[in-house]
Amino acid sequence: MQKLYGVIGYPVGHSMSPIMHNDAFERLNLEGYYHAFEIVPDKFQTAIEGLKALDIAGFNVTIPYKVKIMEHLDEIDPLAKEIGAVNTVVNEKGRFIGYNTDGEGYVTSLLSTLNKRDLTECTVLIIGAGGAARAIYFTLATYKQPPKQIDLCNRTPAKAEELIADNPAEIGSASLSIEEAEASLAKYDIIINTTSVGMHPSTDASPLRLDYLKKGALVSDIIYNPLETKLLKEAKSRGAMIHNGIGMFVMQGALAFEKWTNQRPYIEAMEEIILKKLEHKKEE
């Protein structure tokens, strides 16, 4: 029998996850169907009970439910608990188990761009201190071979300080103002933007000036619309390696797919389908 999967969110109509996962089921000859379920906030609990009653095999969770879903799960993976958000749920014999594949998806994609297995020689700067920063920071900090140092800079420094205080691993970390980060940029091998600054339609904005960018540095942006934000354009013009948000989106989905089916989807095909969809969106 065909198994049911999906994503829950509000709104979720523009989600690119259904085409990506449905294509992956087809390619692997798996009987699965992935649907975007838009759930209005006051029906959240009923909807989750409904998904359980329907015996959904697994689902993704997106904005605004990544934190709220946690009260409705039977078990939560330790890293997802530390991150404080769940983006993937697996139905194991009627029990809903929560995971977070956002951070791991990001780090896997980053390592693949860097063509590295570890980040032990790297000093990292994360811009932002929201949910995405938390997932990436904690995943990097608890990685088998973590970076030497992970600093954070945020418009509101108190939020970066809170993140550092919550960090589950013993890793050197400092909170900087945006100006301090700009002035000491030459220290960092990897710079990661986790804020929405530069995202469509505000494509003229950039979260950080790159005047003192280190030679050979990599600049990464979790934004994928546009594929090249102002930050990445500037980094490229300075000769830096760049990494956009497509890889994180695809890998968080691929890792979820693997948890549900025990099969690894074709990553390149997933990426291709998302790039095509984004291209199509631009034309709309």
From the candidates 66, 144, 214, 277, give the one annotated as an active-site residue: 66
Q: Is the dihedral of CA 248, 250, 251, 257 positive or negative?
A: positive
Nearer of residues 224 and 260 to ligand ATR, judged by Cβ:
224
Which position among 194, 220, 229, 252 is part of the footprint of ligand ATR (CB under 6 A)?
Answer: 194
Nearer of residues 22 and 196 to ligand ATR, judged by Cβ:
196
Which position among 130, 162, 267, 277 is part of the footprint of ligand ATR (CB under 6 A)?
Answer: 130
**Cα–Cα nearest to 208, from 238, 187, 248, 177:** 177
By CB under 6 A, is residue 132 in contact with ligand ATR? yes
CB atoms within 10 A of CB 37: 16
> What is the rounded distance in angstroms from the CA atom of residue 27 to the CA atom of residue 20?
11
Nearest distance in Å: CB 71, ligand ATR: 18
Asked if 66 is an active-site residue, the reply is yes
By CB under 6 A, is residue 173 in contact with ligand ATR? no
Which position among 140, 197, 213, 248 is part of the footprint of ligand ATR (CB under 6 A)?
Answer: 197
Nearer of residues 35 and 155 to ligand ATR, judged by Cβ:
155
Nearest-CB residue for ligand ATR: 130
Which position among 60, 100, 154, 252 is part of the footprint of ligand ATR (CB under 6 A)?
Answer: 154
Size of the site for ligand ATR (CB under 6 A): 15
Alpha helices in the chain (DSSP H): 17-27, 44-53, 78-83, 102-114, 131-141, 157-166, 178-183, 230-237, 246-261, 267-283
What is the pattern of x (binds ligand ATR, CB under 6 A) and - over residues 198-237? Answer: ---------x------------------------------
Position of tokens 């085409």? Answer: 19
Q: Looking at residues 54 to 113 of the shown chain, list those that interact with ligand ATR (rule: CB under 6 A).
A: none
By CB under 6 A, is residue 166 in contact with ligand ATR? no
> What is the rounded distance in angstroms from the CA atom of residue 236 to the CA atom of residue 240?
5
CB atoms within 10 A of CB 213: 20
By CB under 6 A, is residue 196 in contact with ligand ATR? yes
**Cα–Cα nearest to 141, from 120, 164, 169:** 169
Position of tokens 């359980």? Answer: 52
**Cα–Cα nearest to 11, from 35, 44, 51, 39:** 39
Active site residues: 66
Binding residues for ligand ATR, rule: CB under 6 A, are 128-133, 154-156, 159, 194-197, 207
